[in-house]
Chain A
Amino acid sequence: MSDALLLRALRKPESMRRFAPADWDVMLRQARNTGHLARLCVVARGAGILDTLPTRLRERLESEYAAVAQQHRLIRWEVTRVRRALARTTVPLILLKGAAYLLTDLPAARGRQFSDVDLLVPRDRLPEVEDVLLDEGWQFTTLNDYDQRFYRDWSHELPPMAHKDRQIILDVHHNILPPTSRLRPDPRLLFEAARRLPDSSLSVLAPTDMVLHTVCHLLQSGELDHCLRDLSDLDVLTRHFATEVGFWRALVPRAAALGVARPLYYGMRFANRLLDTPIPEEVIRDLERVAPPRAVRVAMDFLVTEALVPGHPVFSRRMRLARGLLSIRYHWLRMPPPLLIRHLLHKAFARREPVAGGPAAV
């Protein structure tokens, strides 16, 4: 098992001070490639060691922190625009992930890099929400027929949208996992437990559900680049919610009710192994009951550890292999085999859309 410098730094920020210059360099690149520079800045500042780091490293961390602070300002603005646009409807709206952490001032928002707003609405209200947003100036970022169909028939969200005057992507979901997936949580449970934001028509998921959404995203999402970020969210969220009475006691039963006990098992296992996330004994015991067979566990331990953080210098062959295998697993769980074959054939042979941009005019 490779113990990535970045993981060591996230677990024990003080350990960064004793790194050799070459280690700082590797850690910097690992953090940059996984979008963790700003988080690392927050962690180092929290441990009171930011000023003891080499100036060059500190400048890189603080620079990215400033960039993330700007992203957060843009996201807050976008959320108010979405709220106003949808004010004329009575659709219940739940903010998900980053935007939810930000709007509820959770520690998980600090230094977290993200560039889209994720919204959850009831499936039967989706057409209404779509009409209002299109009417208010949002547009789909992809108009390709196949992509539209992919999102509408086989995904748990509308195709991504953005307001015509702004850059922030808006993803409107009707569930936290795709309808074609092997796991099908009932979104009605999420709406029933959601918590209203003060002075707002928006809600966020209940603490247990927020954590469960993160674990669903962790290995059920095709974006392996975001894997470590999801794990880090899970770490910060559970440490924070542990102070809420009854959080840990409710977590495993809630996962069972939503049918996502296995993702919770994996999420907590890796958060604990890689980031030292504290988990109460009885939760560990309950989770052992939903553990996969030993062989699967060993394989997943290897794959996730390898895939999570770029090693030295940047991407290793083993990491590519691990990511490839996890990506196969993701697709396998994402849709039934006939649909999967069809989708992959389409992706392999459909003409690629041209990639925008040559060298910038800098």
Chain B
Amino acid sequence: MKLGDLAPLDLAERMKRQGLDLDTGPFVVRITTPIANLANELRALYCDFTLEAEGGLADFHLAVRHPAGPLGVRRYWRRQAKVYVDETPPFEPLPIDMAVPMLEWSINWCAATQVNQYLMIHAAVLERHGHALVLPGVTGAGKSTLCAALAHRGWRLLSDEFALIQPADGQIAPWPRPISLKNLSVDVIRRWAPDAYMSPPVQNTTKGTVVHVRPPAESVRRARDRATPAWIVFPTYEQGTANRLTPLPKARAFFRLAGCSFNYETLGIQGFQTLSRMIERCDVFEFAYSSLEDALRLLVALPLPAPLP
């Protein structure tokens, strides 16, 4: 059963009681909340995802609640939402309208702190014809914008935040959750993909104004189809620049990727081997871009890397 097939009232009831076991691909996420609005927004963002049967095994257990505050005043005045992972809140509570981004960050936090069956790199990943494009990026570099743009023009979304690389075979597992957009890129993508569903903008977060874009249904349907990494492209948005791809020496790329990995050090020798194998088989570029149309044209035309000898 898909989340979108569940009637809003049934959903709210279920999320209030036993919680919702959402099959997000590599992980089953259990979310419990009495906040009906949050349930509705989750339903809109995750409508194409499959629900697991009740009474199963989940990877992460999250609850979003209203903290009561001193004398319970927070129940009525300046309401807040607080996320609990199991029973421990990883973050301070935030105003209630930030519940969606806070929940999304908390799910990311669960993966970043609890998952080691993959080498995890902070990167967007997209796929064409079985070949994966990895877009690692520091915050603000334009990774998510590019990711949202490609995901709505023929590329399959694997993930906006996590490249999950399997140490055994180097394949990348998808985790096609909503794409998070910030500030100016919100309008850029709204114009680029007018039909894409976006959650209501949330202002004044630590990252500015944030929206989440519903992942394309086809990407969600193929959430278990892995892809082989072919290109690693470090994007930077530069206003007014002519789009250009510059090859990057692989040794440099190695250190940059290790630097934006969540668990490179934790995996020890396995992390080193997985990362070096991936870089050996991929072509690596730095990519300065200002126009999404041109970016799309350049990235589609990337030749496949030469096979390893």
Contact = CB atoms under 8 A, between A and B. Distances in A.
Contacts of B88: 33
Given A22-B56, A54-B57, A73-B268, A66 B116 contact: yes
A357 interface: yes
B56 A67 contact: no
A66 B267 contact: yes
A interface: dominant SS: helix
Contacts of B114: 32, 60, 63-64
B87 interface: yes
Given A66-B267, A70-B265, A359-B94, A25 B57 contact: yes
Interface string B97-127: 0000110011011001011110000100000
Contacts of B91: 357-360
A359 B57 contact: no
A246 interface: no
Interface string A15-26: 000001110110
B241 interface: no
Nearest to A69: B268
A314 B91 CA distance: 19
B55 interface: yes
Interface in A328-357: 355, 357
B86 interface: yes
B86 A22 contact: no
A134 interface: no
B198 to A, nearest CB: 20
Contact of B86 (A33, A67, A69): A33
Contacts of A73: 268
Contacts, number: 85
Interface in B220-254: none
B57 A62 contact: no
Contact of A63 (B109, B115, B206): B115
A132 interface: no
A310 B108 CA distance: 25
B105 A362 contact: yes
Interface string A48-68: 000000101101101110110
A148 B28 CA distance: 45
Contact of B116 (A32, A67, A357, A360): A67
B108 A362 contact: yes
A28 interface: yes
A355 to B, nearest CB: 7
A362 B161 contact: yes
Contacts of A70: 265-268
Contacts of A67: 116, 266
A33 B268 contact: no
A59 B206 CA distance: 32
Contact of A21 (B57, B94, B108): B57
Contacts of A62: 116-117
Interface string B127-169: 0000000000001000000000000000000000100000000
A29 interface: yes
B272 to A, nearest CB: 13
Contacts of B59: 56, 59-60
Given A21-B56, A64-B114, A56 B28 contact: yes
A25 B58 contact: yes
B16 interface: no
Given A357-B91, A359-B105, A22 B117 contact: no
Most buried by B among A20, A57, A62, A70: A70
B108 to A, nearest CB: 4
B267 A358 contact: no
A315 interface: yes
B207 to A, nearest CB: 8
Contacts of B92: 355, 357-358
A29 to B, nearest CB: 6
A351 B152 CA distance: 52
A32 B57 CA distance: 14
Most buried by A among B59, B108, B207: B59
A362 B267 CA distance: 19
Contacts of B94: 359
B177 interface: no
Contacts of A20: 55
A245 interface: no
Contact of A57 (B55, B57, B161): B57
Contacts of B265: 70
A62 B118 CA distance: 11
29 contacts: A22-B57, A25-B56, A32-B114, A56-B28, A56-B59, A57-B57, A59-B115, A59-B117, A60-B114, A63-B117, A67-B266, A70-B266, A70-B268, A73-B268, A310-B87, A314-B86, A355-B92, A357-B92, A358-B92, A358-B206, A359-B91, A359-B94, A359-B102, A359-B106, A359-B109, A359-B205, A362-B105, A362-B112, A362-B161
